[in-house]
Amino acid sequence: MKSYYLLGILALGIGACTHSGDQPSLPQLMDGSQTAPTAKKIPEELTIHDDTRIDNYYWLNQRENAEVISYLEAENEYTDGVMAPLEGFQEVLFTELRAREKEDQETLPYKYDNYYYYYRYIEGGEYDIFCRKEGSLEAEEEILVDNNQRGAGYGYYSSFETVSPDHNLMMIMTDTVGRRNYSVQIKDLTTGEYLADAIPNTTGNTVWANDNRTIFYAKKDMVTLRSYQIYRHTLGTDPATDVLIYQEDDEKFNTYIFKTKSRKFLVIASSSTLSSEYQILNADTPKGEFRLFQPRQENHQYDVSHINDHFYMLTNREGATNFMLMKTHEDATGEENWETVIEHREDVLLSGLTTFTDHMVLSERKNGLTQLRIMKWNGEDDHYLDFGESAYVANVGTNIDANTTSLRYNYQSLTTPSSTYEYNMETREQTLLKESPVLGDFSRENYTTDRLWATAADGTQVPVTVVYRTEKLEQGKNPLLVSGYGSYGYSRDPYFRMNVLSLLDRGFVYAIAHVRGGQELGRQWYENGKFLHKKNTFTDFNDCTEFLLEEGYGDPARVFAQGGSAGGLLMGAIMNMRPDLYKGIIANVPFVDVVTTMLDETIPLTVGEFEEWGNPKDKEYYDYMLSYSPYDNVEAKDYPNLLVTTGLHDSQVQYWEPAKWVAKLRELKTDDNLVLLQTNMEAGHGGASGRFNAYYEVALEYAFLLDLAGIQE
């Protein structure tokens, strides 16, 4: 039973905001008939370093146990019941969210040899239709696969495709569970028939060799879900006889395969959080032997691009924390042959390289913002694109053809929908090709974005990006939602968030705290938010929230926070540290049972995480993790209202972490605030599949937030 599928019986009009005190919040709306489920307690002793923890809810980690499923279903029913008074409001929100998206639209076509490929959507269709035209955009459309047909009947469906070099065959990777375990089918595009070569249990990472008959793909360890093997398949043969090409035995590393943009080399990558290694093979000789590019070294990260008989490497060798660019001839790839192209810079993170025959495009970060730098290989030209806003996101788009002077790049901000431009790298002329449509009365002129700097407790300046509807901002009176992530060096950039308009139009201020643990201010920003510095992520977030209140961006009585996955860990930590600061929190698929998970190497993906969090088998790391792990630090005290979401088949953060957390909070907390758990019984880490199904989940979350803020319409 999924509450986000409930459609209301009362249609509410969308009008002026009402504030706290004008109408009751969720706790008062409950009629007393709803009783929260109580998970039974089975004490489990967990001992290491002469320290014993008692986990009363450890038993919930049995996905096949009928009693566990019954408990999760009872939690869903409780959430349904508590949210029942807002069913009509959820329907209004769902309708509003869906109405902003143009249903019959298509992506911008990209040219690949003599074909133009694109995806389009039809009215009412949950999934995309992959199409192409030969020769010109005026040619007759050829539908390659209709995922509305393929996805029909599944509670969850995810797929993507890759076309062979001769454009006659296509691989389709499909997951119908949500555990990111993909089956591969091959379609003959000349006949429309599917070949017998069905390959099960892949990661979805596949690549064609240049002979159009050989496929390479990655497989997972089915227990740990680590991508650890690369296989070779020849069309027409039994997949059971596929050849194992490479196995990555170091459990800290994952492996995958790709083809260089030059189409000349197949590359097997092995990567951990701190190190990388590559093997290369000419894509014309798929049955040859891969050769090592440069052996892995501890704490040496590099990646490879190929153009004009040379490889180009972004590398952090020789203390280049923010990475430098080097090159070497394709026949001499050892590190002793590498030559410097761009030196390391203390104030600029070199984060990406896109190669063309005559140009390179560098993706850089400076002062928390992305930049695109255009350079000619011969050094005659070197310039940056000027975007003109104080907070934005710019990145390289789909550029398959290397022999061109045209660059496609994407641009957006919290007030500017995603836009694709074509930029002539020779003449510097640019053309807007497409801006994602936002239906309804949206006008970017109605909204304001501010780029701010909060001072953390240790004096560090932390960037914060804020957006609000201009005429609705009132000093110290608006409900405030702060979001963040702060792990893995992932930067929480100010992308356009169409759904957030439903909050902004009702008076919310939305903020992104770019806390340490991301990479917004360079690699050191990441290093200062991991391992034994992880608490900086949490204190930064609370300091940003307090700063926003001091600056008048929010009503202290109506402050909310939201984060997912490692951002869910952030949510658990901030509410343990400062429960008084927040009225309500949404934690999506939260990683909250840090110590127990990191001690269990049979849990998917654990070992590879040691280079992010540390290994708790080392007492120093154990003690530090234990000091912030949200589950281990639940206490008998008041907590904010809380909505927690998870997926039964989540492969990244197992469902039992949020389930245990909710059970322990219910047991110990001393307030009457809500604790709701919503488990999608048909999905994984990404939630519901499809264009519109996800809006039910968003409508549930927004109804929860808005009602707590005293806004019911």
DSSP codes of every residue in 213-256: SEEEEEEE-TTT--EEEEEEEETTS-GGG-EEEEE---TT-EEE
pLDDT tens for each residue of 405-438: 999 999 999 999 999 999 999 999 999 999 999 9
Classify residue 235: in a domain, yes or no. Answer: yes
CATH number at residue 630: 3.40.50.1820
Residue among 698, 98, 93, 100 nearest 442 (CA): 100
Classify residue 574: in a domain, yes or no. Answer: yes
Classify residue 700: in a domain, yes or no. Answer: yes
- For residue 282, is pLDDT > 90? yes
pLDDT tens for each residue of 670-709: 999 999 999 998 866 666 667 778 899 999 999 999 999 9
Q: Widest CA span of the chain, in angstroms?
A: 75
Burial classification of residue 672, based on how many CB atoms lie within 10 Å of its CB (0-12 exposed, 13-18 middle, 19 or more buried): exposed
Classify residue 34: in a domain, yes or no. Answer: no
Enumerate helices (H) and strands (E) in the chain, giving the number of each: 13, 37
DSSP SS3 for 488: coil
- For residue 4, is pLDDT > 60? no
Q: Would you state the pLDDT for residue 24?
A: 38
Judge whether 383 counts as a catalytic residue.
Answer: no
Classify residue 94: in a domain, yes or no. Answer: no
Domain boundary among 300, 324, 340: 300
- For residue 29, is pLDDT > 70? no
Residue 97 and residue 695 in contact, taking contact as beta carbons nearer than 8 Å: yes
Residue among 597, 509, 581 nearest 538 (CA): 581
Q: Which residue in 272, 276, 363, 565 is the catalytic one?
A: 565
Residue among 705, 669, 671, 404 nearest 560 (CA): 705
Judge whether 565 counts as a catalytic residue.
Answer: yes
φ, ψ for residue 37, nearest 5 deg: -60, 150
Residue 210 and residue 167 in contact, taking contact as beta carbons nearer than 8 Å: no
Round to whole Å and give the CA distance between 412 and 420: 9
Classify residue 508: in a domain, yes or no. Answer: yes
Judge whether 685 counts as a catalytic residue.
Answer: yes
Residue 34 tokens read as 């709803």
Residue among 447, 451, 507 nearest 476 (CA): 507
Domain boundary among 270, 300, 330: 300
DSSP codes of every residue in 484-517: ----TT--------GGGHHHHTTT-EEEEE--BT
Residue 225 and residue 263 in contact, taking contact as beta carbons nearer than 8 Å: no
Q: What average pLDDT is seen over the chain?
A: 92
Residue 545 tokens read as 């929230």
Q: What percent of the chain has pLDDT over 90?
A: 85
Mean pLDDT of 236-245: 96
Q: How many domains does the chain fold into?
A: 2
pLDDT tens for each residue of 550-578: 999 999 999 999 999 999 999 999 999 99
* Residues spanned by the domain of 459: 446-708
How far is residue 436 CA from its own chain's centroid? 20
pLDDT tens for each residue of 340-364: 999 999 999 999 999 999 999 999 9
Contacts of 396 (CB under 8 A, 6+ apart): 352, 354, 361, 363, 372, 407, 408, 409, 410
Domain boundary among 282, 300, 318: 300
Q: Which residue in 197, 593, 650, 707 is the catalytic one?
A: 650
Classify residue 594: in a domain, yes or no. Answer: yes
Residue position matching structure tokens 């180009």? 312
How far is residue 70 CA from its own chain's centroid? 30
DSSP SS3 for 376: strand
Q: Which residue in 233, 359, 514, 685 is the catalytic one?
A: 685
Round to whole Å and give the CA distance between 210 and 213: 8
Q: Would you state the pLDDT for residue 682?
A: 82
Classify residue 4: in a domain, yes or no. Answer: no
Half-sphere exposure (CA, 13 Å, Cβ side) for 230? 24
DSSP SS3 for 669: coil
Q: Would you state the pLDDT for residue 18?
A: 32
